[in-house]
Amino acid sequence: MRCTNKKKRIVAALLASVLVLPLAGCSAAPALENAFEADRPGLGVTASLDGGEGISYFAEDLCVVDENVEAIEADTSEALAACFFDMDSLEVLYAQNVHDRMYPASTTKIMTALVALEHGDLDAQATVSETAVTFHESGVTTAHLKTGDMLTLRQLLYALLVCSANDAANVIAEQVGGSIEGFVDMMNEEAARIGATNTHFTNPHGLHDEEHYTTAYDMYLMFQEALKQDLFREILETPVYETSYLSADGSQVEASWSSSNLFTKGEVTVPEGVTAVGGKTGTTTAAMSCLVQLFEDAEGKSYAAIILGCSERAILYQEMQSFLSSLNN
């Protein structure tokens, strides 16, 4: 069917409105190089010419930034990328190199948990395979799972996010995705769905791979999506998780997993009136020290703080703390 002149004018107006959207702030879609090009999924404008709901934007409920921002004073000089976003007002308070590709280390497990929570059965039992507990790297953090151990997906998620267990990540992948490779495909599909277009995963745990990368902004997109899952936040708030599960011979295994997050453990303090709700750590030689963290102020407003590629773990927490002085002003 041919369009009427009236419909043609409406379409032209819609296209023009896209071209003049502001390029910074938190409520408009940006034109970004190497991250959110206009032809990538998620940034299109949808509209009804027949009296529908009208225009909706992919980023209408997201913080959006295409350049460095310093609306608050903060010191992230030892990090490769950092950002601090007000998740309620959608204000970008601080952003440095947020669209640069980085290695995420175990912050990868935010996406692992998101996919598992969206597609898995929390009460389903998983049996640990030999493949899931086999690593070629030394010093890999695990929950000390053994071949033949049987745990629920819920237990595995606590191991994944509390003590950052890489063996738990593999078991989750095999249970939910049918295989590690199949689950990684699901991770990449989910990244594309939520607009994390400068991200590519090759595994569910974050151990180093040249083709396994993300950006600080993409990590924000994953984090805010995962926070829609109540259990995700509940696990992040847990300093120690104690549980029991069956081993291959049918005996009970008693486990106690402690948080890898120094804010959650209470070993790093925050200003009065600020709450360090929870977050996900990540450390490898290539990625250095990383942290994705949720804070709340005295009024209950939420803030996402992300630092990737910090030179040392102690400095990472100092730089995180530098974001927080603005919350009491």
Q: Which residues are catalytic?
A: 106, 109, 164
Long-range CB contacts for residues 14-20, cutoff 8 Å, separation at least 24: 14/45, 14/47, 14/55, 17/45, 17/55, 18/45
The number of residues in the chain equals 329
What the block records as the tokens of 107 is: 């912050």
Nearest to 24 by CA among 68, 56, 55, 61: 68
Rounded Cα gap, residues 108 and 280, in angstroms? 9
Q: Burial of 40 by CB count in 10 Å (0-12 exposed, 13-18 middle, 19+ buried)? A: middle
Residues 6+ apart with CB under 8 A from 266: 239
Nearest to 307 by CA among 134, 154, 118, 95: 95
- Asked whether the beta carbons of 158 and 257 are under 8 A apart, the reply is yes
Residues 6+ apart with CB under 8 A from 324: 270, 271, 274, 295
